[in-house]
Structure formats: structure tokens, C-alpha cells
Chains A and B, each alone.
Chain A
Amino acid sequence: MLTRRALLKGSACALAAVAAPPRFLARAALAADGRRKVLVAVFQRGAVDGLSMVVPYGDRDYAGARASIAIRPPRAGDAGAATDLDGFFGLHPALTPLQPLWQSRALAVVHACGSPDTTRSHFDAQDYMESGTPGVKSTPDGWLARAATTLPAARSPFRAVALGPTLPRVLRGDAGAISLTSLERFDVRGAAEAAVARKGFESLYEQGVQDLLHGTGRETFEAVRMLKSANASRLSPANNAEYPRSRLGESLRQIAQLIRADVGLEIAFTDADGWDTHVGQGAEQGQLANRLRDFAASLAAFSQDLGDRMADVVVLTMSEFGRTVAENGNRGTDHGHATAMLLLGGGVRGGKVYGRWPGLARERLYEGRDLAVTTDFRALFSEVAGRQLGIAKPATLFPGWSGGSAVGVLS
């Protein structure tokens, strides 16, 4: 299959010569000391229950809808309950590792955020959130890939990286994004024959038709070479950060290594699953709490590891939709609509829950059952792309959307 990306790859030099980026854009993308700004996107696949993650305990209809899974409201001396954020919302107790970040205003929440599309299909909703085009399946590339191709600075094979065994939809396209599971294993391996084999494989993918395989092969070996010289996998976590030994923990640990190794990373993506809690979701403890504990510990370790470097980094979490307001027949929740998304890092105007709260009264619910969407995910994502990556007209990353009012979560 001949892709646009492959064609672009073939003529990358020619393009660079013709279309040198305007200087002001390049400046916007660089932090004060010349280091790049980095956006880290974390996808909670399976639809996280935003109402348990960031608890609207102040909503009079919250507890009643969830007889066995509502999170206890914050109360002095009750360490097992939600921790208060602003007198109306509270953090799930398993998210306690994030509480200091809220206190220092590095953490913000956008609640009742989601897609204008009505689907409750995991697959479709993830597809829409990654393509950035709700309701349109034919969009060939992902919005983070489009963002990466808009970036002005000199190209690095590690500009856009996904941690995971496959390249996610959100980074497919012309960005030359790479995906990997382990920095340490990212090479042609084998004692004696590795060198000659590496050279052989590299030449096999170097020439020939401009297709997905060859294009990917070329990017791969560029990245292998760069990673070798940067030696990122030798960097152990700083500031006594301790990552959980989970997939998310491992992914974030390695993203931090790439950031600290200065390999030109600007967009990183990883995901975490286990959020599809149809049965026995649990409340302060239980299935969802365990997933949230890993989620929070991984993010907190990442923030601690990067230390001052977090000034250049924004972490954005997302999930394809939320879950039913009322618990179902099995102490779980079914597929819903809006959910909560978190932002963490440098330019985040933290310590605040953003977004208009639609309320949980039955007549306020979407289709009589789900939290309504009051912030289109595209408004949030485009603000992040604009502010953090310095993209001039970020709304254009979302074809068919004319833009919306600012969320105001990034300075």
C-alpha cells in the first residue's frame, strides 16, 4: 500500500529545503533554555469511570445512583474516603499519590469531557478520539501524527514515540512515529552476528518501493542508531522516583529516559487498560481502585523522576467515554458518555476542575443515563497542542471542526 507518508518520507529533504518553518513557530516550541517541550498522552483504554476517578460528591444525585460503588465523600479523619479538591469534587482515594501535585497546582482536571459522537462502542470511540474526527471513520491519520508533522524544529526519529507493541491510531500517518516496548531491546540482537545482520537488514529496507514496510524500516534504523549514541536506557530514575512494575509504569519510566536523554522527543503516547468495569467495580477499594492506584503511582513517579524538567512537560490523560451514572445489576457500570481527563505538568494551571458541570439529575443526563459532555475533547486537545507544542492553528488538527471556546487549562 502506497501511503502519503511513504511518499513524504522519500522526499523529506526536498520538502525541508522548500518549506523551512517560520522562526517564530520554532521559538514557540522551545522552552526558555532551548529544550523542547514535550506532550505525553496517556490513553485509559476501556472507558474509565470519571465519576469514581474525580468524584462529584457535592452533586446531590451522585451517591443515590450508586448504592454500592459510590466513593465516600471527604471527611476529616477518614483517610479511606475521597480527598477534597474544591468543595464539590474529590479525588478517588487511590489517587492520593497525585494529591501533592494538585496542592502545588501542577495537576488540573477537565470534567464532563468527551466526544460529541453518540457511540458507546469502545472501538469506534477510541478510533474517533485518536483520529480526532468524531463520527468520521475514513480519516487516514491520527491527530497526534498531524500535530507532529506541523512541528517546526529539526526532525528526530524520536520526535513522536508510542510505548507499546503496536503503533496506535493516534500516531499513524505521516509523522514517522515509532513504537517500541523496550528501549533496551530496541536493536538487532545476537552476539556475533548482530553487526553484520543490522547492516544487512538496514540495506534491505533502505531501498526499494516507497511503502509502509520500507518507510517504517528506514525510520527504525535511524532510531536504532540515535538511541545507541544517546544510551537512554542506562539512565535510571532520578530523585528516588519509584515506578510501579506495571506496563504503564514501565512505559512512563522509559518516556522519562527519552526526555532526559535529549533525543528530540516532543510527543509521547502510551496506554493502560483494565477500565471496562462492568462487574464488581468496587468503591474505595476493589478492582477500579487497584487500576487507579497503578495509574496514580505511575504518573507521580514520572513527575518526581523528571523533577525540574517537568516544567517542559505536559501529561494529558484521556479515555474513549465514561460510564453509566447509575451502577448496573452487577455492582459495575456500563458504557456511558462523558468522563474526566487529567493534565499534569509545566504550563498547567492546576489546582482547578475545569469544564461546566452538567449535573447528575436524571433530566440532565445524556439519553437519560449518562454524564453529558460539556467540553468537546477537541477543545481540550487543540488547546494542549496549541499551548504546549506551539502549533499556530491547532483547530486545524481536527478536520471538520471550526474550534470552540478555550478551556483555559494551560497558560
Chain B
Amino acid sequence: MMRALAIAFVAVALTGCASSRAAAGAAAPTDDAAIVHVLSRLAFGPRPGDVERVKAIGLSAWIERQLDPARIDDHAAMQTISVLPTLTMTTAQLQREYPRPDPRQKSADPQMAPRELFQPAPEKRPIRIVAELQAARIMLAVESERQLQEVMVDFWFNHFNVHAAKGEVKWYLTSYERDVIRPHALGKFGDLLRGTATHPAMLFYLDNWLSARPDFTVPVGPNRGKRAGLNENYARELMELHTLGVDGGYTQKDVTEVARAFTGWTIDRPRDDARFVFRPLTHDRGEKTVLGTRLPTGGGREDGERVLDLLLRHPSTATFIATKLVRRFVADEPPPALVERVAATFRRTEGDVKAMLRTILASPEFWAPEARGAKIKKPFEYVASAVRAVDGHVADPRAGFLLVRSAAEMGEGLYGAPPPTGYPDRAEAWVNAGALLARMNFALALTQGRLPGVTLDLSPLAVDRAAPDAALERLLAALLHGTASAQTRAVLVAQLASPEIRRQTPDDRGPANTDVEKLAALVIGSPEFQRR
């Protein structure tokens, strides 16, 4: 029933968009370059052989499968992360089994976790929870067949960012990603919004769990007599970063009123079995006016729910979400006409993520030549795509964690963005001297086998070792898929003359023994490979 409805919606959506191409599969290009483009945007880059595999089932069929991840068999990837015990634990279990460390130990920075984390003797500090999530995220980005799902998990987590290092968040993070972000990554925006609004991770991160009606005094219990009051942190970021956007048309007065509406939305038993609870006692029952709509006196939990509904239906939210999606999938400067069409899809489908992605995939803007390779990979995308490009696998969580640390050196520590804005999705943020060197060093470490547990298979690329020119052509085809510029090609051809790369016998009589690994490092560190 739901499926039939969804298909009907899509049909309406597509016929309603006469100006754009009819469907992703019908008029969109299906040549190899188009397949590489799709694999660079809907997946974390192609693995060797992926282009042929997609061609075999057809590009539009592949896209449809990615839009319906539950039907993709992913047991191999699930197997690799099954060794991480915390991923399936409830928050209560995590709080019990990974207790707060001795206060003399400094609270652990998620980016600085030691290698010992994944030694056989299980580390029981809460930092292990974050390290497992980090390892799992990169392992899935590399291994999962449900590539679009993983892309969207990364996107939505970043949109609804919480920071692992803030207080209790590290114990709530597992459930936040598993129970809120992941199930709705290709679902309805409203479910993401409601799910985050009521999850302890967000309630804690943006302080709403402490917000209470003005001059509230705790009547009983250990905190008896303590006063609490309004905290506007969540209210502001909810409108600025989750829904309307900063210029979406709200005022300071709206911030205060929304904060009043969310009083009482808090965390029950935050330290041993944290879950959402509405506490009428701390709720401000007075009348509120939010974005011009009156919430009458006497409201309870429904005040906050009404605010979420108002925000969901507000036209600024559709535009804001559409802008971010188009920036992720098309270009740093989102083409306004496409943003408007995606926003229209948002409004028509109540924020159906799949429908919005279909609008993007059916657009000439997505397929335009200027969109190809227009995005600079974020560090996480770069690391995952590099491992995939050399047919790499992450054999164990410790190897995953090494990859995570590499991305952190390039500026993107997973679960480690302190501000609610999350990480930026624009080139200027990621292209700078230190980060570029970190990318080159990662390319070297990867291809030289200096990341224990990250296994890669360069042998298909090395069959022409004795013929340097052929070896280079094979590398360029496999890693850059025809995007190498003339200059890059010339530089690499010149490298072939260097004795370190050619590794010929001293008398120059024996066959060359091309250092394919070193060449691969140069290609992965090249300007072209930074793009997707």
C-alpha cells in the first residue's frame, strides 16, 4: 500500500516536472563517464570493476536499488562490523558497561583515542563507544553495498550534528545514529526532525534537557529548592540550522517563544537509562506566538510538536534542506532553479528524501558537464574513496580507526565537530596547505602498506610492471577514469623516467620493474583525485 502510494507520488512528481528530464533512467546519459559521476556522488567512489557491474544491471536500475537499501544484500559489510559489541547496545547497557572513568583521567578526546583501543583486552572506557562508531562508519563507507544509505547517514548526521566530546553525548551517540539517523536517512525529513528533537543526544548537546519555565524551582528530590529557567540554545539552532536557515524569517522573539514551547522536553535518568520524557512540571503553559501562530494557554508536550509541524511546513525549511542537498550532490554553489524544484518536491512530499533525490537525479543540472568533478571530496569522502579505488578492504576495526584518524588529520574528525553547524560542504573549507599534505601523506601510507589491516589489491594494476607506459595508462584508467588532465599525465610520464619509479637494473639492460605503488600514491594524491 505504502509502496503503491510512493510510486504514485513519484509518477505525479515526474509528470509535474515537464522542464526537467523525464526520469533518471530515461533520458539521462548512461555512458561510462556518467556511471563514474553517479558512483562519485551517490557512493564513496568506484571500486575496480564497479563501472562494469553498474553497466551490467543498468544505471537507472542501480540507482533504484540504492534508493531502496533494505533490498540490497549487505551481509558481508555487516559481518565486518559485527565484531564491534557496542553498536547494538542500548544506551542503558552502554552506560552500565562503559562507565564514567575515574575523574582524575581527563575526559577523552574522540580524535585522540590510542591504538590500544582495539587490543584484545576490551577497553571499557566510554571512549571505546565513540571509537567503535568511528570505525564502523568508515568500514561501512568502504565496504557496504548500500552506498547511498551511507552517504545519507553522513549527510544527515552532519545536518543534525552533535559533538561526542560534550558531556553525556558519547553514551547517547550509538542510539542517536542507529535509531534516528540511519532508519530515516532515505525516509521523511519530519521523522529525522522529530527523532532528533526527542533524542537524549540532541537534548543534551543543545541543552534543552535543562530548559524549564522561567523561575521554576525544583520541588522535591536532591535538587530541591534549586531554580531553573529558560535556555534558548536548542530553539535557536533548531530554526537556524535544522529547519528554516539563518535567513529563514524568524526573530529573537521567536527564539524565546520556541524555547518556551520546548520546556519540559528533557531526559529521564540521564546517567543510567537515558530516554526522552516530557515533564509537565517544568513546562511553560502560558500562551506563545511562534512565527505568527498562536499556541494557546494550557498546552503541554503538544506545544513543541506544533512548533516542529510549523517548521516542517514553513517554505524556508523546504528551501534550506533543498539547498543543502543540492550542494552535496551537485555543486558548492547550488543552481537556484534546481533548488527551487527540489524545494517544491519537499513541499509536495512532506520532505521525502528519496523524492528529493529523484528530483536531483532527474535534473539536467546533475548531469551537466560542469557538475562533473565539481566537488572537492571532504576528508572522509577522500579516505573512503581512496581505499575503494585500490580495491581496499578494512580487515579489522583498528584499521578502520587508522583511517578515521587520517581523515581527522585532514580536518574532519568523525563525531568531532564542536559547533552545531557540523562540517562545511564547500571546497574552501578543505583545501589548504596542511590538509593537502595530509592527503598526500595518506596516499603514500595507503599504497606503501603503512596502514596495518587496510588490505589492498594492486596486482591487477601491476600486470604491466615491465612496461612503464602501459602500467601508467592502466593506473590512470583505474583510478581517474579518464579525468586525468594533460598536465597530470605529462608529469606522471616524466616520473616514469626516474630510476626510483622505473627500478631498472643498473646496466639498463633488464626489464623495467615499475614501482606501481608509488605511482598509485601520486595519482591518489593528485588534484584530480581530490574531486568527485
Tell me which residues from 212 to 236 in chain B have a Cβ below 8 Å from any Cβ of chain A: 212, 214, 216, 227-233, 236
Tell me whether A204 and B429 are in contact in the complex, defined as CB-CB below 8 angstroms, given that A166-B435, A329-B214, A329-B231 are known contacts. Answer: no
- Is A334 positioned at the interface, with any CB of B under 8 Å from its CB? yes
A329 contacts B411, CB within 8 Å?
A: no
A121/B431 in contact, CB under 8 A: no
B507 interfacial contact with A, CB 8 Å = no
A-chain residues with CB within 8 Å of residue B228 when the two chains form the complex:
329-330
Q: Quote the shortest CB–CB distance from A170 to chain B (angstroms).
A: 12
* Chain B residue contacts of A276, Cβ below 8 A: 233
Q: A178 CA to B434 CA in the complex, in Å?
A: 7
B494 within 8 A of A: yes
B436 and A332 contacting across the interface, CB-CB below 8 Å: no
* Interface flag for A367 (CB, 8 Å): yes
Query: How far does the alpha carbon of A217 sit from the alpha carbon of B527 in the complex, in Å?
Result: 9
A392 at the binding interface (Cβ < 8 Å): no
* A120-B236, A279-B231, A334-B233 as given contacts; A187 in contact with B434, CB under 8 Å: no
The verdict on B513 contacting chain A, using a C-beta distance below 8 Å, is no
Question: A200–B216 Cα gap in the complex (Å)?
Answer: 66
The size of the chain B interface, using a CB distance under 8 A, is 64
Interface segment, A146-154, A189-197, A305-313, A402-410?
A: A189-197
- Cα A207 to Cα B501 in complex, Å, equals 21
Which of B44-52, B96-104, B398-406, B440-448 contacts the other chain?
B440-448
Interface membership of B391, Cβ < 8 A: no
Q: Does residue A293 face the partner (Cβ distance < 8 Å to B)?
A: no
- Out of B230, B433, B490, which one reaches A220, CB within 8 Å? B433
Write out the residue numbers on chain B whose beta carbons fall within 8 Å of the beta carbon of A193.
444, 448, 500, 518, 521
Given A122-B419, A224-B437, are A204 and B526 neighbors across the interface (CB < 8 Å)? Answer: yes
**Residue A34 is within 8 A (CB to CB) of chain B in the complex:** no
Interface assignment of A262: CB less than 8 Å from any CB of chain B: no
Q: Are A200 and B491 in contact (CB under 8 A)?
A: yes
Q: Is the CB of A197 within 8 A of B444?
A: yes
Please tell me if the beta carbons of B522 and A213 are within 8 angstroms of each other in the complex. no
Q: Is A335 positioned at the interface, with any CB of B under 8 Å from its CB?
A: yes
Cα separation A371 to B183 with both chains bound (whole Å): 45
A73 to B424, CA, bound (A): 42
Interface residue? A28 (CB, 8 A): no
Per the bound structure, the CA–CA distance linking A179 and B411 in Å amounts to 11
Cβ of A181 under 8 Å from chain B: yes
A 312-340 binary contact with B (CB < 8 Å = 1; else 0): 00000000000000001110101100000
Would B500 and A188 count as touching, CB distance under 8 A?
no
Known contacts A217-B527, A278-B207; 8 further A-B pairs (Cβ under 8 A): A123-B419, A167-B432, A193-B448, A201-B522, A204-B488, A212-B427, A213-B531, A220-B433
Q: Chain B interface (Cβ within 8 Å of chain A)? A: 207, 210-212, 214, 216, 227-233, 236, 240-241, 246, 252, 255, 332, 376, 409-411, 418-421, 427-437, 440-441, 444-445, 448, 450, 485, 487-488, 490-492, 494-495, 498, 500-501, 518, 521-522, 525-527, 530-531
8 contacts between A and B (CB under 8 A): A124-B246, A181-B409, A193-B518, A197-B521, A212-B427, A213-B527, A213-B530, A216-B431
